[in-house]
Structure 1
Amino acid sequence: MITYWSWWWEVDSELDKLARIILTISVPALVFLWYKWILFYTKRGGTSLPPGPYGLPIVGYLPFLGSNLHEIFTEMAHKYGPIFSIQLGSKLHVVVNSTDLVKGVAHDMDQTFANGRNAPITSSLISYGGSDIVWSNNKKWRNLRKLLASHVMSNTNLNASQSFRTHEVRKTVNEVYTKIGQSVDINEIAFNTELNVVTSMLWGCSKSNYIGDGFREVEFKIIELLGAPNISDFLPWLARFDLQKRRRDMERQLEYVDQIFENIIENRIKDNSSKLDGAVEEDGRKDFLQILLELKDQKDIDTSFDIIPIKALLMDVLVAATDTTSTMVEWVMAEILNNPSVMKKVQDELNEVIGMNNIVEESHLHKLRYLDAVIKETFRLHPPLPLLLQRCPAESCKVGVYTIPKNTIVYINVWAIHHDPNNWPNPLEFKPERFLNGKWDYNGNNLKFLPFGSGRRICPGISLGDKMLMYMLASLLHSFEWNLPKDDDFELCDEFGLVTKKRKPLVATPSQRLSDATLYLR
C-alpha cells in the first residue's frame, strides 16, 4: 500500500496537483462505498430484511427503475414475494403487495406507521414545511385531522353545504347544454365544478373571486412535481444543487398559490375587524377559514394555530379534493364509454330512480346502486394513488416475518392488491357487478379494496369526494347522451404519478337526452 501511494505522488509532474488530491480522496471513498454496498447485500441475505434485487454502489437500484412504478413493483412482487426491499440511493424502501401484510402495516402496527413521516422535498415545500394534515406527525397531526373532520367533512357541515354542490352541478349541466354537439373535456368541467364547491366551503365564495383561470395548470404542475422522482430525495447530499430543478419549480407553484391565500386571509381579517362577531354567512354558518382564524388567537396549545398551518390546511383541501375527484370523473366516464352495456344499465337505473321529467337531486344518490358499483369498480381498476402516500415507521418493527428498520420508506401497492387474481377473478375485466353483492365501502376495512388507504392515515375527505363524484356523474349521465368523437383514438392507458391520470385526456360529445329543455336551465 505504501508503494502504491509513493508511486501515485511521483507520477507525471504535469498532472494538476488539485486533481491528484481529489482522486487521492475519491479512490478510497469509492472503495469504502463498494465495501459497504457488498456488506449491505450480504447482511440482507442473512437477516430478516425483506428480499429484493441487488443494486449499485451509491445509487442502489435507481438506474433500473422505469416510469410506471405501480406495474414495475407488481412484477417485482411476483419475483421476490409479497413484500420486498429495494435500495434507492441512500434510502431503504419496502413495498407491501398483499392484503395479509397490509393488515400488519395499516392495522396491527398502525400507530407505529401513522406517526412516522418522511416528506420528500417537493411535498415539504408545498405543505409549508410539513405543517399540513398529510405530513405532520403525532399530536399535531391528530389535532389537524380532528379539526378537518369536525368543521369540513362532518355530516352536519356536508349537509349544510348541499346548496353549494347543487348550484355548481346545475351550473355545469347548463354549461354543457350550451356545448351540445361540440367536444367537451371531461376533466376540465369536473375540475371547475369541484373547485367552485370546495372554495365555497373553505372561504364562502366560488373560485372566481380569488382564483384565476390559470389555477388548473398550476395545480396540475403541483401534482406532477409531487409524483416526479427527485434525485435529491434519494441522495440528500445532492439536494443543495437541485439538479432536476424540482425545488425551483415547486417554489414557483407555491408562490402562486400562497399569494391567493394571502389575499383571501388579508381580506377576511379586514372584514372581521369591522364586525364584532366575525364574518358569518347569512344562515349563521361559518366557513372553514373563519373557524381557523378564530382558533388562531386562542391560547389553548392544542387548538391554537398560526397562519402557516391555516395555509397548509387550505392547500390540502383545495388540491386533494379537486384533483382526485376530477381525475376519477374522467376515469369513470372513460370506462362507461368503453362499455356500452354498462352505459345502458346506468341510464336505465337513472330513468327508474329519477325519471325523464326530473333532474338529479342528492336525495336520489343512495338509490343508484349500479352507478355506485360502476364507480367502485373504476376505483379498483384505476386507484387514484396506486402506491398511496409513503409511510415511515417511527421505530423498527416486524411485518410478517421480516424486520422493517426505523425510518424505512414503506409503500402499500394498492394497484397490485386491486389487480390480484386471488382477490378479484379476471382482475383486468371491467365488471361492476362485483360490488353489487356484499358490503363495500371506502373506509379501508376490507383490505382487498383500498382506494383511499386504511388505518389512521386514511384520506379524511372520503365523504365529500363520494358525494361530489356520484352527484356529478349522475347529473351528466342523466342529462346527456355521450359519444366519442369519430376521429378520436380512444385508449384507457394511465400515466403514473402521485395521482394516476389518464394518459390521453377524455374528450366526448354531449347530446340532449331530456325532452324538456327547461330542465337544463334550472
Structure 2
Amino acid sequence: MQILCYSLLPCLLFLLSTKFLLHKRKKRNLPPSPFALPIIGHLHLLKLPIHRTLDSLSKKYGPIFSLQLGSYLAVVDVSSPSMVEECFTKKDIVLANRPHFLGGKHLLSYNNSNMGSAGYGDHWRNLRRISALKIFSTSRLASLFSIRREEVNILTRRLNSGSSHGYAKVELRSMFFDLTCNVIMRMVAGKRYYGEDVKETVEARIFREILKDFIGYIAMIQVGSMIPILQWVDFTQDFKKLDRLNKRMDMFLQGLINEHRHDRERNTIRMK
C-alpha cells in the first residue's frame, strides 16, 4: 500500500500543477504561449543563444507571448516597438518592479536592498537620487575623465604593441573587460587590478578570484530562484557557495573602506 501511494504521488503532483497553471493562465488573460510543463513551466525551452530562441518563438506565437519560468511569469515582446514604448512610458510604474532572485539576496544586494535589485518605492527613488548626484552627475563624471582617458590610452598602446610587426589577431573581449574593471576600480578605490603592467599582489589576485566567481553566479541560471521548492534541499550546494562568496566580498570591500578611512585620517593630521 505504501509503495502504491509513493507511485501515485508524482501523478497527483503532475495533475495538480497542470490544473493550477491552466487556471492561472485563463484568469490572467495572458498572451499566447507554448504548452507549459508542470512546475518548470517553459524553462526547458530556453536554449542558448536566448535571443534566437525567443525569435523563433515569436515567429510561432506572435510578437508578444508569455512564458512561465518556474514560479515567475514573463511577458516577452520581441518585435513590437509600439508595445515596448507603451511599456516604458504609459505603464512604466506598473512594470517597474522585478522578481527577487537568490543572487539579489546573497551577492552584494543585502537582501535586495541596493538600486539594482530593490523594488520600486521610496527606498529605490532615494538610491536613484543619491546615485544621480554623487556618481552620474556631469561634474562628477568630468572630474573622473582623466581616469577613463588614461585607461583607454593603455589599451591603445597594448593593441599597438601586439600589432607592431604586422597584422595580428586580437581577442578584444578580455581587453575590454580589463579596461572596464580598471576604470571602475580606479574610480572607487584608486587601484588597478588587471593588465600586464599591474604588479601581482595578494590583493589583486583575491579581487580577480572574487570577480570571476561573482560573474559565474550572475550568468548562471539559479534554478532555486525559479522553482522555490528546490530551495528546501540544496542539491548543488549553490546557496552555501553564494554565502561564502558574499562573505569574501564583504571582507574585501571592508578592507578597501578601512584603507580609505586610514588615508583620509592621515591626510587630515598632516593638514593640521
TM-score by length of 1: 0.44
Q: Equivalents in 2 of 1:167, 1:90: separation in Å?
A: 47
Q: Equivalents in 2 of 1:140, 1:264: separation in Å?
A: 26
Contact 1:77 1:83 in 2 (8 A): yes
Which residue of 2 is the match for residue 173 of structure 1? 156
Q: How far does the alpha carbon of each residue in 1:271-315 deviate from its partner, in whole angstroms, 9 at most, with x for none?
A: 3445659x9xxxxxxxxxxxxxxxxxxxxxxxxxxxxxxxxxxxx
Contact 2:14 2:38 in 1 (8 A): yes
Which residue of 1 is the match for residue 51 of structure 2? 70
Pick from 115, 119, 122 the counterpart of residue 103 of structure 2: 122
Q: Equivalents in 1 of 2:160, 2:42: separation in Å?
A: 52
Detail structure 1 runs of 4+ shifted over 6 Å in the superposition: none
Q: Equivalents in 1 of 2:4, 2:262: separation in Å?
A: 62
The aligned amino acid for 2:151 is E
Match of 1:94, SS state, is strand
Matched, 1:148 2:131: yes
Gaps of 5+ in 2: none
The structure-2 alpha-carbon separation of the partners of 1:82 and 1:267, relative to structure 1 and needing over 3 Å to count, comes to same
The structure-2 alpha-carbon separation of the partners of 1:57 and 1:190, relative to structure 1 and needing over 3 Å to count, comes to closer
The aligned amino acid for 2:255 is N
Pick from 254, 259, 267 the counterpart of residue 267 of structure 1: 259
Deviation at 1:52, TM superposition (A): 0.8
Match of 1:73, SS state, is helix
Contact 1:210 1:264 in 2 (8 A): no
The aligned amino acid for 1:81 is G
Structure 1 window deviating more from structure 2 (161-170 vs 175-184): it is 175-184
Matched, 1:199 2:180: no
Q: How far does the alpha carbon of each residue in 1:367-407 deviate from its partner, in whole angstroms, 9 at most, with x for none?
A: xxxxxxxxxxxxxxxxxxxxxxxxxxxxxxxxxxxxxxxxx
1:295-314 matches, cutoff 5 A: none
Contact 2:17 2:39 in 1 (8 A): no
Deviation at 1:47, TM superposition (A): 5.9
Q: Equivalents in 2 of 1:46, 1:237: separation in Å?
A: 24
Contact 1:122 1:246 in 2 (8 A): no
Q: Equivalents in 1 of 2:91, 2:173: separation in Å?
A: 38
Contact 1:122 1:247 in 2 (8 A): no
Which residue of 1 is the match for residue 115 of structure 2? 133
Greater share of residues in helix: 2
Matched, 1:163 2:146: yes
Contact 1:44 1:51 in 2 (8 A): no
The structure-2 alpha-carbon separation of the partners of 1:73 and 1:245, relative to structure 1 and needing over 3 Å to count, comes to farther
The structure-2 alpha-carbon separation of the partners of 1:237 and 1:161, relative to structure 1 and needing over 3 Å to count, comes to same
1:216-255 matches, cutoff 5 A: 216=208, 218-255=210-247
Equivalences, count? 259
The structure-2 alpha-carbon separation of the partners of 1:155 and 1:77, relative to structure 1 and needing over 3 Å to count, comes to same
Answer with 1 or 2: which has the greater Rg. Answer: 1
Match of 2:117, SS state, is coil
Deviation at 1:77, TM superposition (A): 1.4
Q: Equivalents in 2 of 1:171, 1:43: separation in Å?
A: 56
Deviation at 1:79, TM superposition (A): 1.3
Q: Equivalents in 2 of 1:33, 1:233: separation in Å?
A: 20
Deviation at 1:264, TM superposition (A): 0.5
The aligned amino acid for 2:261 is I
The aligned amino acid for 1:48 is N
The aligned amino acid for 2:134 is H
Match of 1:110, SS state, is coil
Deviation at 1:42, TM superposition (A): 5.9
The structure-2 alpha-carbon separation of the partners of 1:143 and 1:42, relative to structure 1 and needing over 3 Å to count, comes to closer
Identity %: 26
Contact 1:210 1:260 in 2 (8 A): no
Which residue of 2 is the match for residue 190 of structure 1? 176
The structure-2 alpha-carbon separation of the partners of 1:262 and 1:210, relative to structure 1 and needing over 3 Å to count, comes to farther
1:67-466 matches, cutoff 5 A: 67-97=48-78, 98-114=80-96, 116-126=97-107, 127-137=109-119, 138-179=121-162, 180-181=164-165, 184-207=170-193, 211-213=203-205, 215-216=207-208, 218-274=210-266
The aligned amino acid for 1:237 is I
Q: Equivalents in 2 of 1:154, 1:210: separation in Å?
A: 34
Deviation at 1:34, TM superposition (A): 0.7
Contact 1:45 1:51 in 2 (8 A): no
Tell which has more relative contact order, 1 or 2 (C-alpha 8 A, sep 6+).
1
Matched, 1:55 2:36: yes
The structure-2 alpha-carbon separation of the partners of 1:165 and 1:237, relative to structure 1 and needing over 3 Å to count, comes to same
Q: How far does the alpha carbon of each residue in 1:126-184 deviate from its partner, in whole angstroms, 9 at most, with x for none?
A: 12221221101211111112212211211111111111122222233334444334654
TM-score by length of 2: 0.79
Gaps of 5+ in 1: 1-7, 9-19, 280-522
Structure 1 window deviating more from structure 2 (130-139 vs 30-39): it is 30-39
The aligned amino acid for 1:55 is A
The aligned amino acid for 1:270 is H
Q: How far does the alpha carbon of each residue in 1:96-145 deviate from its partner, in whole angstroms, 9 at most, with x for none?
A: 2221221232111111221x221211232112221221101211111112
